Amino acid sequence: MEYEAVIGLEVHAELLTDSKIFCSCASKFGGAPNTHCCPGCLAMPGTLPILNKHAVELGIKAALALNCEILPYSRFDRKNYFYPDLPKAYQISQNDFPLAVNGYINIETEQGIKKIGIKRAHLEEDAGKLIHSEHGDYSLVDFNRSGAPLIEIVSEPDLNTPREAWLYLTKLKSILEYTEVSDCKMQEGSLRCDANVSIRAKGSEKLGTKTELKNMNSFRAIERALEYEIERQKRVLEKGEEVIQETRRWDDARGITITMRTKEEAADYRYFPDPDLPPIVIEKDFIEEVRSKIPELSHERKERYIREFGLPEYDAGVLTDSKKLSDFFEECVNKYPDAKKVSNWIMVELLAILNAEGKEIEDISLTPDNLVKMLNMIDKGTISGKIAKTVFREMLDTGKDPSKIVEEKGLVQLSDEDELEKIVDIVLNENQQSVDDYKNGKDRAFGFLVGQVMKATRGKANPKIVNKLLREKIDG
Ligand SMILES: [Zn+2]
C-alpha cells in the first residue's frame, strides 16, 4: 500500500521586545541565572500582570506578514499545569480567542508553489528553564526566561513530506527575521518547533492517528525526525498494529523517536479566562499602523535582485533566504556597484566556507567594508584573483583590513615587467619541450608555461603581464 504523511507544525518564536510580556524585567537572552526577575515573573502572591503593548504590536506584525486575519477581540487564558519552571502553576496563553487566525504562507516545492494554511497565531508567556546536574541527582531553575513573550504559530496539517516541513520552516523563519519580530536563534531557544504527524493510505480523506514530536533543535533535526517517524508508523501499520496517539521525543544522536507520554497521561489544562487581564481590543487604525511598518520581505527582495541587478533566480533566492546575508550583500553593493561580482564572492567563496563550517554570516569577522576594499584591490591589480582568495580567508578569520593582510604576508601582485621578464626567461629555458609543443599547435602547453611562472612567483605574478611577456618571447 502507498502511504501519505500529514504533518502540522507548531512554532514558538520569542518576540524581540525589550521587556517581558507582563512585567518590566529585561527579556534579553542569557545573563547570570535569576537576575532578570521580579516578584511578578516569579509569581509571588499579590502580583498582577500588565500587558506589554510592544509584544501585541510584534504579534500583529508577524500575523499580518503571515497573511492572517487579526481578531478585533482576543483574550488571555490560564493553561494550568504543574512544572518546576512554572511557579504560578499556570501559563498565560490564548486559547478560545487567539490574536489572529486563517493565514498562509507559500512554499516553493519541486512541484511548484504550495499554499500552507496557518490555523492561528497567539501570544503567550515563556516558562523558566531547568538545568539538570550532570550526575542527575538535582536540578537548578533559572527564571530569566519566565514571562518572555512568545508567539505560537500553528499550521494547518497541509504539509505532506519532511522536505515540505523544512521549506515551511525556512520561509517562516525568514518572515519573522525580515519583520524583525524575532531573532529566530534556535541555539538560544528563541525559535522552537513541535510537529504532529500521521499517515494514511494515499488518496484517503480520513486522517490517521497522529503522534506529536518534541525536542528537535534544528530544521535538519525536524526533517530527520519526521522521516524516521513516518517510516516507524508505516512499519506499525504493515505489522497489522495500530499507531498509538502519543508524544514522542527525538533523540538526535541515535536518530530515533522515543515515547514520552501516551494520550492517557496527557495533561488536561483546564483552560479558563485569566481574570487578571482585560481582553485585547484592537482598533483597525492600529492594525493599519502596524501594517505600514512591515518592510520588504524576502520574496520581494528576491524579485528586486533579479530585476535591478540582473542576478539569476537561484542566486537571488540564496542571497535573500537569510536577512542578515541579504543585508550584508546590500551594504557591499551600496559601496561597490558591480552587484554580480559581489554576489559571486558571496555565493562561491563565502557560502562554501560558511556551509563547510556550519556557520552563519554573523559568526564571522568579515565586514562589507573589507570585502569592498578587497574587490577594489583586485580591480587596481594590487592583488590577483588567486591571491584574493587567501586574503579573503584571512579576513573571515581575523576581520583584518585586506591591505594590512597583503602587507603583512607580502602578497602584493608582481607587476614589474623587468622583474617578471627575468623569471619568464628562466621558465622558457627550463621548458624548451613545452615551447616546441606550443609552437606545434598544442595550446595547452602555453597554459603550462603560465602556470610555471605563477609557481615560481608563488602565485603573485600579474597573469596579464605574464601572458603578454610569454607571447612576445615565443611568438617573437
Ligand atoms: Zn519580572
pLDDT, one tens digit per residue, over 42-99 is: 999 999 999 999 999 999 999 999 999 999 999 999 999 999 999 999 999 999 999 9
Distance 176 CA to ligand 1 centre (A): 25
Distance 275 CA to ligand 1 centre (A): 19
Distance 23 CA to ligand 1 centre (A): 5
pLDDT on residue 476 = 72
Distance 41 CA to ligand 1 centre (A): 4
pLDDT > 80? residue 267: no
Q: Which residue has the higher pLDDT, 252 or 415?
A: 252
Distance 88 CA to ligand 1 centre (A): 13
Distance 130 CA to ligand 1 centre (A): 18
Residues 114, 159: Cα–Cα separation, whole Å: 9
pLDDT on residue 88 = 95
Distance 266 CA to ligand 1 centre (A): 30
Residues 15, 135: Cα–Cα separation, whole Å: 34
Distance 72 CA to ligand 1 centre (A): 28
Phi, psi of 241 (to 5 degrees): -95, 180
Distance 43 CA to ligand 1 centre (A): 9
What is the pLDDT confidence band of residue 266, given thresholds at 50, 70 and 90?
A: low
Give the tens place of pLDDT for each residue, 152-209. Answer: 999 999 999 999 999 999 999 999 999 999 999 888 889 999 999 999 999 888 999 9
Distance 145 CA to ligand 1 centre (A): 9
**Residue 202 CB neighbours (<10 A):** 11
Distance 39 CA to ligand 1 centre (A): 6
Distance 123 CA to ligand 1 centre (A): 17
What is the pLDDT confidence band of residue 350, given thresholds at 50, 70 and 90?
A: very high
Give the tens place of pLDDT for each residue, 357-373. Answer: 888 888 888 999 999 99
Distance 149 CA to ligand 1 centre (A): 12
Distance 48 CA to ligand 1 centre (A): 11
Distance 151 CA to ligand 1 centre (A): 18
Give the tens place of pLDDT for each residue, 124-141. Answer: 999 999 998 888 889 999
- The residues spanned by each domain of the chain are 3-289, 298-409, 417-475
Distance 148 CA to ligand 1 centre (A): 9
Distance 76 CA to ligand 1 centre (A): 18
Distance 22 CA to ligand 1 centre (A): 7
What is the pLDDT confidence band of residue 409, given thresholds at 50, 70 and 90?
A: confident
Distance 280 CA to ligand 1 centre (A): 21
Distance 28 CA to ligand 1 centre (A): 12
**Residue 474 CB neighbours (<10 A):** 17
Distance 407 CA to ligand 1 centre (A): 53
pLDDT on residue 54 = 97
Distance 190 CA to ligand 1 centre (A): 18
Distance 408 CA to ligand 1 centre (A): 52
Distance 11 CA to ligand 1 centre (A): 24
pLDDT on residue 410 = 79
pLDDT > 80? residue 393: yes
pLDDT on residue 382 = 84
* % of the chain exceeding 70 in pLDDT: 99
Around 428, how many Cα atoms within 13 Å sit in the side-chain half-sphere? 19
Distance 305 CA to ligand 1 centre (A): 44
Residues 220, 231: Cα–Cα separation, whole Å: 17
pLDDT on residue 264 = 67
Distance 25 CA to ligand 1 centre (A): 4
Distance 146 CA to ligand 1 centre (A): 8
pTM above 0.85, yes or no: no
Distance 64 CA to ligand 1 centre (A): 29
Distance 397 CA to ligand 1 centre (A): 39
Distance 35 CA to ligand 1 centre (A): 10
Task: Please give, one letter per residue, the 3-state secondary structure of 341-385.
Answer: HHHHHHHHHHHHHHHHHCCCHHHCCCCHHHHHHHHHHHHHCCCCH
Distance 173 CA to ligand 1 centre (A): 28
Q: Does CATH number 3.30.360.10 belong to domain 417-475?
A: no
Mean pLDDT of 236-240: 93
Distance 27 CA to ligand 1 centre (A): 9
pLDDT on residue 460 = 83
Distance 128 CA to ligand 1 centre (A): 12
